[in-house]
Structure 1
Amino acid sequence: MTRTVLVAGAHGQVGQHVTELLAERDGTARAMVRDPDQTDEVEALGGDPVVADLTEDVADAVEGCDAIIFAAGSGGEDVYGVDRDGAINLIDAAEAAGVDRFVMLSSMGADDPVSGPDALEDYLTAKAEADEYLRQSGLDETIVRPGELTNDSGTGTVEVGDDIGLDAGDIPREDVARTLVVALEHDELIGETFELLSGDEPIDEALATIAPN
């Protein structure tokens, strides 16, 4: 079934991969960007551009969508304004518009921000609070928490778990994006939060081990 998926942060490094993957799977990727100058780039990836700012009204961007993948990030410049409050703003807009399915790109370490590096504490705290807000919402959520991101080519194989450890490894952004898209397609992952690193198991098979039988 073809559905319209809003990609928040479509011009970001993970978001570009997500947009392209959705287009390849014959879905409609509504590619949300803040800067109008970025619309041509996401359109070239197969996305349907929409200009909206997570810190402002996003109702028009959400309207008519069937699902949302949150791949936006502040790049460390405004973690509470974008990574937390921007996510919360989009969650509220999704509920108001009747968009049930929401896949969140979070971060490994968000379960215990104070135990991570000092430089990441605010970021992980922002992610943790956004994740918890999503869990408490009425949406059908899946929360994906990758480790350190790289720009290596994706392998299509990963490791998943619920307590891997913040310094246990890394993962290409391309594989994170593919995991977000695959997770969206599996309703059995609704309500699940999992950590993600590069590994030896194909993504579909790895995700099949998460949900309870």
Structure 2
Amino acid sequence: MNVLVVGANGKIGKQLVHLLRGSSEHTVKAMVRKEEQAEAFAKLGVEVSVTSLEDRVEDIAQAARGCHAIVFTAGSGRHTGFDKTLLIDLDGAVKTVEAAEMVGIKRFIMVSAIQAHKRESWNEKMVPYYVAKYYADKILEQSELTYTIIRPGRLVDEPGIGKITTAENIKGGSIPREDLAKTILHSLTEENTFYRSFDLITGDIPLADALKLI
């Protein structure tokens, strides 16, 4: 499976590209927004497209051509205003869904945020971010794509332990980015995650087994 990683230069995206490069099942294409980012991936032998989520749907669709799946790991980041949250985390995600439909890609994994599906659980300081995630996820669920929505807890840069907890309603917790990336990798072909959304934190069940229990 050839996988387009949207947001490949981010911390999650880089971890996922690394895992996909080492996989015997998959190949990877990185979508980034800057030429210097593209050069770094090209040096690793990774196919890359320089495309912004603020570009047209047709441009994102062109980046996705030839791929079989899309993983959306992009985000506007903490240091931008809520205008970018709207343009990247909401509209950028929706345009990527539309692009997948345009070129006939069915498999789509969205990285969301823990409890994004429950308004009463949103962090009051980050409401615009959660609004963006909530509606992007809703639009993906209403599409014809074979989706998986992963809602991770607080992301940390600690080494992964390979064990997770998944559920529809987890109030809090954290997970290493490495384990999130591995969960995405396993979810690509784990049919039990198809048409499902779930919260994700560190737990005590090996991640491949945990995904079969969703």
Number of aligned residue pairs? 206
Question: 5 Å matches for 1:75-114?
Answer: 75-76=77-78, 77=80, 78-114=84-120
**1:198 alignment partner in structure 2:** 202
C-alpha spacing 1:170/1:100, structure 2 compared with 1 (3 Å): same
List 4+ stretches of structure 1 deviating above 3 A: 43-46
> What residue ranges of structure 2 are gaps of 5+ in the alignment?
none
Contact 2:173 2:201 in 1 (8 A): yes
Correspondence 1:173 to 2:171: no
Question: 5 Å matches for 1:27-176?
Answer: 27-44=26-43, 47-56=46-55, 57-76=59-78, 77=80, 78-165=84-171, 168-176=172-180
Structure 1: how far apart are the matches of 2:8 and 2:139? 22
Identity score, percent? 39
Contact 1:110 1:127 in 2 (8 A): yes
Contact 2:115 2:169 in 1 (8 A): no
Local SS of the residue matching 1:179: helix
**1:7 alignment partner in structure 2:** 5
Structure 1: how far apart are the matches of 2:86 and 2:202? 28
Structure 1 length normalisation: TM-score?
A: 0.93
TM-superposed CA distance for 1:107, in Å, is: 0.5
> What residue ranges of structure 1 are gaps of 5+ in the alignment?
none
- Per-residue CA deviations over 1:73-116 (Å, capped at 9, x if unaligned) read 11042111101100000100100100000000000021124532
Local SS of the residue matching 1:119: helix
TM-superposed CA distance for 1:185, in Å, is: 1.4
Structure 2 length normalisation: TM-score?
A: 0.92
TM-superposed CA distance for 1:45, in Å, is: 5.2
